[in-house]
Amino acid sequence: MQDIRSPLQAQVVQWLVAAGDAVATGDVLVILEAMKMEHEIRAPHAGRLAELFFQAGETVGDGDVLVTLAPLSESVASAVPDQPQLDEPPVAPAERADLKKLQDRLAFTLDAQRPEAVAKRHANGLRTARENIADLCDAGSFVEYGAMAVAAQSRRRSAEDLVRNTPADGMVTGIGCIHGQRVVVMAYDFTVLAGTQGMRNHQKTDRMLGIALQNKLPVVLFAEGGGGRPGDVDVAIVAGLNLATFASFARLNGRVPVVGVVAGRCFAGNAALLGCCDVIIATADSNIGMGGPAMVEGGGLGVFKPEQIGPSAVQHGNGVIDILVDNEAQAVSAARHYLSCFQGAQTEWHAPPAEALRHVVPENRLRVYDTRAAMQGIADEGSLLPLRTGFGAGIHTALARIAGRPVGLMANNPLHLGGAIDADAADKAARFMQLCNAHGLPMVSLVDTPGFMVGPDTEATAQVRHVSRMFVAAAHLRVPLLSVVLRKGYGLGAMAMTGGGFHETLATVAWPTGEFGGMGLEGAVRLGYRKELEALPEGPEREALFEQLLAQQYDNGSAINMAATLEIDAVIDPAATREWLVAGLEAGRVKPSDGSLAIETW
């Protein structure tokens, strides 16, 4: 005989057996209730119930005997199987009603449930929010937050209508992996109320932004949409200007990488969030503006089509768009590439042919060339990601890897103003320094500049303030800066490209083609030897003296002479550039961040 005892103090709800019954292992004998929860008491083994000690409705104490279980005779035991027979097919469990309800509800969040909206989207050559997220994240890694939200419009629309037509309240949010690392992803769904910002998708956004900040997770925002939504009537608001979304989004600045992606139309509130991003990736068919057609017309500023407001050609040229691509697939690929640069070193990489760097700079010192060839020759193959290519043509900026290590690259552009640094180029370079500094990327600067651009027209652009941003940004760098002078290293412009001075860097080296001076050599001769030159009549004799003096200046300011006087650290074979940079990257230290390294939006 075996006593079956109560495991807790409870009330007997129901006996499922009677005295004298034979039971199998695991059969439910009685149901007890405690704290409004039911507990099943099961038979520990096969047997026959000898006596029931409590009736339904009675209270039992912890450890009280409920029933005694007697062993079965051999003949009876053989008729009461403890386990299912192996030749009996397993019985499929019945479908649970609660699970089916959940699955039915979640089905409405999927693109397959909205074929007409998806077909319209595809007809415009665009992808759905969920298609973009699936492409962005590693396969199967995306976990969605807030999928069952609907628009706050129950006072004017039926529940069925809201479930069918406002899935996720027009904002798909969650956490996925990119190259194995977790990232917060938020995508406005243009097929739902034109991607407008509803009250509940603001709540979802705020939730995800808090998670990103607390856990230091990068953020990717697909920002297509029309801004605020006036039709959410379930919430008692007047203007809704007490939202936390925009402040929360801006608070991520400098703390985690934030990527904005746009295809199609992005106006008003969506554009305000986009403008806070570290980098903006946009397709050629995108339109970005702080106000859409309705807002422009409402302000009495005229009637325009959406395509007339902030087209990509304008926004790329003025620096709003950092990376311009043809379509969403390329945009997603660029976003993955960009984020990979903030995910540490890679163990596998391929170096470009080192000898090619020897032929980047022409032997003719007056012949222009493309410094992007030097950038390509220094970076690991396939790693170079140019940024802000439509703006500030005087300086190229890009993210890249060198021997697997992520770096920021910038280079003067002799094809524009001879490499002179104007206001736009200075703004571009200063913000790029802030970007690298905030996220801990060492920097490599390729120098070929005659200095800052000068002249009455230039000064009208506030040149003094703009170019000085480079000195201020460099003075706050916590990351190593390595500089390679490719050819011209003149004046204040060259100093700005090297962190404020040639000895402010971890290393400043030059190729044999390097030439240096306090200003351009031709100008230095004309100013410094004006009396000697004017003493000769105009013509061959004056020109001969000029060329002689220029040759002396060039020899005095040669890279070898600069190294001999220790104004630079070394003159190197261009083919050895990567070796020098790798040594510097291994030696350099990224100082800890105090969490307040802001990246200006401009």
pLDDT of residue 90: 64
Mean pLDDT of 204-229: 95
DSSP state string for 143-184: EEESTT---S-TTTS-HHHHHHHSGGGGEEEEEEEETTEEEE
Q: By CB neighbour count within 10 A (0-12 exposed, 13-18 middle, 19+ buried), where does 526 fall?
A: middle
Mean pLDDT of 30-54: 93
Q: Left (φ > 0), alpha (ψ -120 to 50) or beta: where does 563 sit?
A: alpha
| Alpha-carbon gap, residue 403 to 585, rounded angstroms | 10
Q: By CB neighbour count within 10 A (0-12 exposed, 13-18 middle, 19+ buried), where does 260 fall?
A: buried
More confident residue, 528 or 236: 528
pLDDT band of 83, cuts 50, 70, 90? low
pLDDT of residue 72: 80
Q: By CB neighbour count within 10 A (0-12 exposed, 13-18 middle, 19+ buried), where does 550 fall?
A: middle
| Alpha-carbon gap, residue 560 to 574, rounded angstroms | 14
Asked if 304 contacts 293 with a C-beta cutoff of 8 angstroms, the reply is yes
Tokens of 418: 């001879």
Tokens of 599: 């990246």
Asked if 360 contacts 284 with a C-beta cutoff of 8 angstroms, the reply is no
pLDDT of residue 550: 81
pLDDT of residue 524: 77
Mean pLDDT of 79-88: 54
Asked if 513 contacts 365 with a C-beta cutoff of 8 angstroms, the reply is yes
pLDDT digits (tens, 9 = 90+) for 324-365: 999 999 999 999 999 999 999 999 999 999 999 999 999 999
Residue 455 has pLDDT above 80, yes or no: yes
Q: How many other β-carbons are positioned within 10 Å of the β-carbon of residue 415?
A: 15
Mean pLDDT of 252-256: 95
Mean pLDDT of 203-214: 96
Task: List beta partners, residue 197.
Answer: 228
| Alpha-carbon gap, residue 180 to 401, rounded angstroms | 18
Mean pLDDT of 552-559: 84
DSSP state string for 26-42: T-EEEEEEETTEEEEEE
Q: By CB neighbour count within 10 A (0-12 exposed, 13-18 middle, 19+ buried), where does 190 fall?
A: buried
Burial annotation 194-210 (CB, 10 A radius, 16+ → b, else e): bbbbbbbbbbbbbebbe
| Alpha-carbon gap, residue 249 to 82, rounded angstroms | 61
Q: Which residue, among 252, 245, 251, 260, has the nearest Cα to 315 in the 3D structure?
A: 260
pLDDT digits (tens, 9 = 90+) for 456-508: 999 999 999 999 999 999 999 999 999 999 999 999 999 999 999 999 999 99
Total-model pTM: 0.87
pLDDT digits (tens, 9 = 90+) for 233-246: 877 776 777 788 99
Residue 92 has pLDDT above 80, yes or no: no
Q: Left (φ > 0), alpha (ψ -120 to 50) or beta: where does 454 sit?
A: beta
pLDDT band of 294, cuts 50, 70, 90? confident
